[in-house]
Copies of this chain bind each other. A is one copy, B any other.
Amino acid sequence: MSIKPLILIALGGNALIQKGQKGTAEEQFANLKVPMRQIARLSRNYRIVITHGNGPQVGNLLLQQESCREVPNMPLEIIVAMTQGQIGYMIESSLDRALMEMGVTTEQLFVSLISYVVVAERDPAFQNPTKPIGPFYTAEQARGLPYTMVKTDKGFRRVVASPTPLAIVEHREIKKLIEMEFIVICCGGGGIPVIRKERKFRGVDAVIDKDLASAVLAGEINADVFVIASDVPGVSVHRGTPEQRVLRKVPTAEMERYLAEGHFPAGSMGPKVEAITRFVKASGRRGIICGLEDIERAIAGEAGTEVDRPTEREHA
């Protein structure tokens, strides 16, 4: 059995497509070099699981679907599955390349796997869809479409439910792969959302927050460190005021207070802080939010925002 500590690294969508980019394959492969070179080095001393976002890729596929009347539209569960294939391949091949560049001669085992994530059929999110996805529509286009729509400054947009992830269906498989020292790429885009009907799973039109799904997985696999890496170097409080500051080490209780006070925007930093705090509180292990270029330094305790393990008293 391995004694290397286990890190779960959740990569933000901007690990592949950065702001202002359209997302060519070249751009996505180039962007991945920054996190993948670090992960390749980390794999010497840690077992690694990688999860990732898929927002821009889902947006692009939906836009292509809408532009083409000849091909039947795929439901969101299948769009998510497609992005797991696409991004899983890009991450796996970029990491393979980074390992080769390091001159790694041992034969590291890899796997990128399709993952579904169970949500509750009665999750209130299904009554109140809030997550905007896909292209913008004119009022006239919006009337003809069978979606829940919201009006925005740029037009109408489809909103879907973003239910709470409960369990990763493949968690037993993922645990076995980790035991065998595979680097595992999974839970892409928060996973393909499924509900359980009796004992059968059924896909649903929803998207799952990838940081919350990653927190569930981090708990299931007993990760020693859970890292969320995106385009911000850490967690800021009092944003837009003279008191604004980036947090470095924060006790769980203090972070929960900031969350409750509304310091973090919903749909971006909010779920990240919630995901990390939940994990640290439940497991007593390390949780970090950092920039994509700072993954190694953050794990060494030199960058990012770390939610401090609860003291004995808090944890009890």
Is A72 touching B200 in the complex (CB atoms < 8 A)?
Answer: no
List of B residues within 8 angstroms of A84 by Cβ: 85, 89
Closest chain B residue, CB of each to CB of A22: B72
List of B residues within 8 angstroms of A172 by Cβ: 107, 109
Q: Beta-carbon contacts of A281-295 to B below 8 Å, as 1s and 0s?
A: 000000000000000
* Complex copy number for this chain: 2
CA distance A109 to B176 in the complex (A): 10
Interface range on chain A: under 10, 10 to 19, 20 to 34, or 35 or more? 35 or more
CA distance A96 to B199 in the complex (A): 10
Q: How far is the CB of A97 from chain B (nearest CB, A)?
A: 5
Q: Beta-carbon contacts of A58-77 to B below 8 Å, as 1s and 0s?
A: 00110111011011101101
- Within 8 Å of chain B (Cβ to Cβ): is A170? yes
Q: Beta-carbon contacts of A90-128 to B below 8 Å, as 1s and 0s?
A: 101100110011000001011111101000000000000
Q: Beta-carbon contacts of A1-31 to B below 8 Å, as 1s and 0s?
A: 0000000000000000000001111000000
Is A85 touching B81 in the complex (CB atoms < 8 A)?
Answer: yes
Is A201 touching B85 in the complex (CB atoms < 8 A)?
Answer: no
CA distance A90 to B201 in the complex (A): 12
Contact of A88 among B90, B114, B173, B182 (CB under 8 A): B114
Contact of A100 among B60, B89, B176, B199 (CB under 8 A): B199
Q: How far is the CB of A83 from chain B (nearest CB, A)?
A: 7
- Within 8 Å of chain B (Cβ to Cβ): is A42? no
Q: How far is the CB of A30 from chain B (nearest CB, A)?
A: 13
Closest chain B residue, CB of each to CB of A69: B67
- Within 8 Å of chain B (Cβ to Cβ): is A180? yes
Closest chain B residue, CB of each to CB of A81: B89
List of B residues within 8 angstroms of A74 by Cβ: 25, 86
- Within 8 Å of chain B (Cβ to Cβ): is A250? no
- Within 8 Å of chain B (Cβ to Cβ): is A271? no
Is B75 touching A25 in the complex (CB atoms < 8 A)?
Answer: yes
Closest chain B residue, CB of each to CB of A63: B71
- Within 8 Å of chain B (Cβ to Cβ): is A40? no
Is A81 touching B72 in the complex (CB atoms < 8 A)?
Answer: no
Contact of A114 among B92, B194, B198, B199 (CB under 8 A): B92
6 contacts between A and B (CB under 8 A): A78-B86, A83-B85, A84-B89, A85-B86, A97-B200, A100-B199
